[in-house]
Amino acid sequence: MKNTLKEVPMRQIFILAAAISMAACSASTDPSVEPPLDEPATTEANLETVGLSGQQAQKLIEAALDGTQGYDITESLTTEVGQRMAGTEAEARARKWAVAKFEEIGLENVRVEPFTIPGWERGIETASIVSPFPQDLVITSLGYSVATPANGIEAEVVYFPELNALQETTQDLTGKIVFISGLMDKAPDGAGYGPAGMKRRIGASEAAKHGAVAVLIRSVGTSSHRFPHTGGMRYTPDVPKIPIAAMSGPDADQMERVFQRGESVTVKMTLTPINTGDRPSGNVIGEIVGTESPEEIVLISGHLDSWDLGTGAIDDGAGIGISAGAAKVIIDSGMKPKRTIRVVAYGAEEIGLLGGFAYRDQHKDNLAKHVMATESDFGAVAPYEIHYNHEAGRGDMQLLADLLNIPLVEKDTSGGPDIGPIKALGVPAMRLQQDGTDYFDLHHTPDDTFDKIDPDEMAKNTAAFAAMAWITANSTSNYRDNKEN
């Protein structure tokens, strides 16, 4: 029998990964000391104190912990479809897979809501140091980068330890390749990703302002493996578009060592990505229709697309498995929610949250009936906190926190990347904050594959989402009567 939440509370995962604040836990932050474990709220002796909804949610938690619903769905997606770049034939196959899987697990009103996106596909991507020490480098194009000339670009490299050093420079970089380094710090909440990711997003235009002809960046990730990290970038209007690629961490270290020797470095790089024009994408939707207020929506979700280097297991096959698996747990229980629980598999998240914006636009007339929304898009390790900052529904979120034995933290949240567009229009959001300490070892790299997922961790995620959806769908709270804190 696998560990249950009663035996190993979710909070322990975070304790073992990083120091917990004194407000969250009184345990020592010394990693050599095994912290004491809190007793969960839902023991046999006090289960009756959580009320009927809590008792039902506890049954769903136990069913999820004893099953492999989310894990099996993620295995199916990553095995039968594989990588799922937005706008490609593979993403189209993923939508067909999702429709079939949603119908198989018993969701109702299963449908695809289509939209159109700008297509992009990578081609050849090579780089090498020409001098002073000839050797190959491992790189990958960043999403929506333009191509180099067909025969590549060979030029002297100018080194910048961080993006801000490039932004502050007065150097003339005409004809040069810019190399931007900068390490990303690990954190359970992924706090280092935003700052580190800026060089990926705007580095090409910042370099082009000074006349550079191409850019290489240290991969935005935390892995020591020789796998470059891709991701989207954008060009500033009225600035020349130049090619940009990410270099694996070990290769970035190698490049820095060459510069530390005081040498002038010349690199040749070739990138042949293409913009493919308008391509189809879409959101796949299925529902557990409510018995009393079917027009009111509790939305749980993940995103269906992935980058093309790996099979998108943690980003975001896990989120599809967790949200659809939670729905399966509820359906298999035979219990019927009062409000409708809607499962959304968003398309085209990786290239700009396009599925989230499409959902917002297609459902703008009934967003007032969306009572809560959340997304799983931070891997497959169990959550260690609940983020929520409204007065309305606080009791429900505290009940959920007690059932899962993790803290409820008063903190604003988008609810997840694809939830942000509807949250901005007033849809209440919460987040089951997963531990992402090691998430960026895998994220957007060839190493994002199914073998990295632990079935017990997936079961805890599935349990948390099932309990959240059930409690919210059966609550008497009007979550829109919110007082922002």
Q: Tell me the HSE value of 66 on the side-chain side, using a 13 A CA sphere.
A: 9
Query: What are the CA-CA distances from residue 64 to residues 57, 104, 189, 325 (Å)?
Result: 11, 18, 25, 8
Q: How far apart are CA 136 and CA 427, in angstroms?
A: 50
**Cβ proximity of 429 and 370 under 8 Å:** no
**Cβ proximity of 204 and 241 under 8 Å:** yes
238 CB contacts (<8 Å, ≥6 apart)?
Answer: none
Q: Is 349 one of the catalytic residues?
A: yes
**Cβ proximity of 323 and 301 under 8 Å:** yes
* Helix ranges restricted to H, 89-130: 89-105
- 3-state secondary structure at position 174: coil
Q: Tell me the HSE value of 251 on the side-chain side, using a 13 A CA sphere.
A: 26
* Helix ranges restricted to H, 36-68: 51-65
Other C-beta atoms closer than 10 Å to the C-beta of 275 total 12
Q: How far apart are CA 320 and CA 317, in angstroms?
A: 5
Q: How far apart are CA 484 and CA 296, in angstroms?
A: 22
Concatenated DSSP letters for 458-483? Answer: HHHHHHHHHHHHHHHHH----TTS--
The CA-based dihedral angle spanning residues 433, 435, 436, 438, taken in that order and rounded to the nearest 10 degrees: -170
Among 156, 141, 161, smallest CA distance to 256 is for 161
Q: Is 47 exposed, middle or buried (0-12, 13-18, 19+ CB in 10 A)?
A: middle
Q: Which of 206, 349, 350, 457 is catalytic?
A: 349
* Range list of β-strands (E), 322-464: 339-346, 370-375, 383-388, 408-410, 431-434
**Cβ proximity of 278 and 328 under 8 Å:** no
Q: Could you tell me the sign of the dihedral formed by the alpha carbons of 154, 155, 156, 162, in that order?
A: negative
Q: What six digits make up the tokens of 369?
A: 């009936």
Q: How far apart are CA 166 and CA 155, in angstroms?
A: 18
What positions carry a catalytic annotation? 349
